Amino acid sequence: MTRLDEMRRPERGKLLPVLFYLTIGLLLWGMHLTLVYAAHTAICALAASPLAATITLAAVTVAIALPLVLILFCQRAFARLLGISEGITEPRIYDRISFFLNLLSLAGILWSGLAVAVLSSCAPGR
């Protein structure tokens, strides 16, 4: 099998870890948005204090941003943990793609977490 054939039809065993490696940042960003909006809605609907909403949203932001920062700094170790470090043909290309997607995701998480500091929680009319 040639290299082109391998790129066209990757083995199923290699495909899922590589996709997870490439999209972990996007998955964490989506989880962050889901948790932030669900927690904010639930806390405000229960008429809890705005301080409780702010603390919860800040905690969710920190709890999701820290693993992503760890993945950014230990990217090769994360790839080895998934078992894809030696299984792919051009690991540097995948590393770069994953790094920039993770960096973009971290910026999105921090940007939406910044709203906690700027906007008042549970404001009427939202």
The verdict on pTM exceeding 0.95 is no
**pLDDT at res. 91:** 74
**pLDDT at res. 48:** 72
**pLDDT at res. 104:** 96
Name the strand (E) or helix (H) holding 62: helix 50-73
**pLDDT at res. 80:** 85
Domain ranges of the chain: 16-116
DSSP state of 1: -
**pLDDT at res. 102:** 95
Cβ neighbour number for residue 114 with a 10 Å cutoff: 11
**pLDDT at res. 50:** 78
Residue range 14-27, pLDDT digits in tens? 778 888 989 999 99
| Ranges under pLDDT 50 in the chain | 125-126
**pLDDT at res. 8:** 58
